[in-house]
Structure 1
Amino acid sequence: MSIRRRKIIIICVLATTAAALGAHFVSGAVKGSGRGCGRSAEVPTTARLADMHIQQPLLLFLAHGRMVRRNLTSGSDTVLSDHGFLFEPSVVRSADGRWISYSGELTDERRTQYWLYDMWSGQDRLVLETPAWGGSIPVFSPDGHYLAVAANYDSRWPDASMAGTYVFDTSTLKASRLGIPAAAPADTAWTDPEWSADGSRLLLMTIDERSGREHPREYRSWAPGTPAATPIEAQWVEEPQSGIGHSVWRLDGAEVPVFEQRLLQGQGGNAPTTSPDGSWTVKVLEPDGEAALEVTDRTGNTRRVDTGNYDGCEGFAFKLVGWIDPAHLVYRKPGPVTLVVEPATSRVAPLLQTHDQSYLLGW
């Protein structure tokens, strides 16, 4: 995964209630108001979540690494795993939705654990434990068959003996360890892994952090089933305006497309979305000034169900997360605030409660 991509994987969803924010209603929609950067958006509450009778449960990570399945009618949680991390875990999900990789520092502040949860079987397995700090965000191969974890040395580690990249077969947990290039000593190296789009190669960029901003880079690739990573041609490219960079990989002169790690379902986007049964289309309108969330039925009848303002800090007014069932769409507002809209009735309810501090993994 490139440094640029690493920054967009995890979003922490902190939900708030309408009572605390004082929503204003105009003809069944919620009137947005101007607000400062970093303040939570207004929350429209025209229904209780329980009254929507949503049968599909949510999958959440609560603070400190407790993964739960939540019944949205009763509000009850079924705990799937709980490892008592010191902080919120880092979480990624495989493209097929089967595997969830999550990691966190334990409360003894001495160890970091990397776990793999199987959504099909409910099995939760520890794949790697390293000294606390350092480490990286794991990356799944496109088919979910492999999970790569770069264990990067931190000066607080007792030594660099565990530094390297570990690749696990997600079904068997059989591991392959890829060492650090000789040109970049383990105690000053940082490796950033990402997969080729076809899953045939793990691409490894290693920088030597002794050298200031102009880090020399070592580029290697590893094919599953082979004993070691081998050199590959690549170039570091930076965007002129932001200075954010990424690696461009080449094999036999041709560019190697890179697999985009799956974003968690809780992040969302602003492209129009249609319900699974085709009954409803929801889109975000962002003219100058006030933005709006608009629903359209099969016959073309359109109405607004929520309004708000573009947040310059977070870079959006609304994000459409996904359909939890054919009748209910999950969406986000800045803050972040996570809500459910029922297009047939225009009812809106907060999805998460005030005390929740959660990663919304999906359903």
Structure 2
Amino acid sequence: MDCPKLIASSSVNHVHSQYIGLAQQIQGFRRCCAAFELCAYNLFKKCSQCINLSALNGCLIGCFVMDGYMDMYETAFQCSSCLDEKWINLLRFRPIVDLEAGDVLAINLLEPHGDEQKQPADSNPVNQFFGRLSVLMKVWHSSDSNCFNQYPLIVKVPASVVSDSGFMHRLKTCLEVSEMPSPPLVLQLSETALESMSYMAEFIDTLMPLGVRLSLYDCLARDMSLLSTMGIRDVYSFHLPHSVIQAMPFSQVSRRYAHGMLGLSSQLNQRVVLEGVDNPTLFGYAQMVGARYVQGDWIAAGVELECLDESCSTARLLAREIRQDCLSGSEVQG
């Protein structure tokens, strides 16, 4: 079948729409390419830093690697750099501190923010996630940030992405062609995103050989709980959401829940991060229930990449000050 040319355009959205239209037109092309899997792997390895994975995935990759269609590959690669800038400008990071050690535990990649007009054009949540992950890996390899060389990076995976039938295969492919930095990448899932304990075991078995760890986020769903997973040693960290600590000033249930989870985690030698420590009052409650790992605006606000080292340094100094105050028996004043 004839495959239409991809026309270069100064409009990222226009070129992206051509990707989608072209992919729809050549659904049968993949079946014609006997060496598709090898070609796809080689191309993906060469340009794994590209943001638009939807254009470098599936049947479209087969077109790129066939003779006569390399101009399409070049256009996609050039267009991807424009999308890179859009994504990088949306990335925000926040350090998580270890109050007992007086140091930063990890860096959390926050959810995208800002005007929807600034978002890359693809609204598919799976493509959105892998686009962010692709740019993140590129930044991680090329950034001069000291924090990226010191602390694990935690990236949340939306439940809508995990539930996609091709998620595990696509994730494995993406990670296999990327040189994983050290310290590790940590992928964070909500407990409702896990279909079963066997699925989580499969997830861990897939990730750990690639140098990736798993983190679990409690979204307070009624049918599942982090309690059922806290005995699994291969989980890097468990996270309690903002709503737990923000309810503590007026909810005894929230205080008891957090205290119980933190007590159990201490006995099991697991990490539980208390999120949403946004002011001195909430930090006082975090201390009251025995939180060791915390994050929130009072500890450190979300910052762009260029401010990450400074943010980590400030958070580290605060954690050391709190640790010293605790050792001396004094109370931290807001």
| TM-score after normalising by structure 1 | 0.26
Choose between structure 1 and 2 for higher RCO, CA contacts under 8 A separated by at least 6 residues.
1
TM-score (norm 2): 0.28
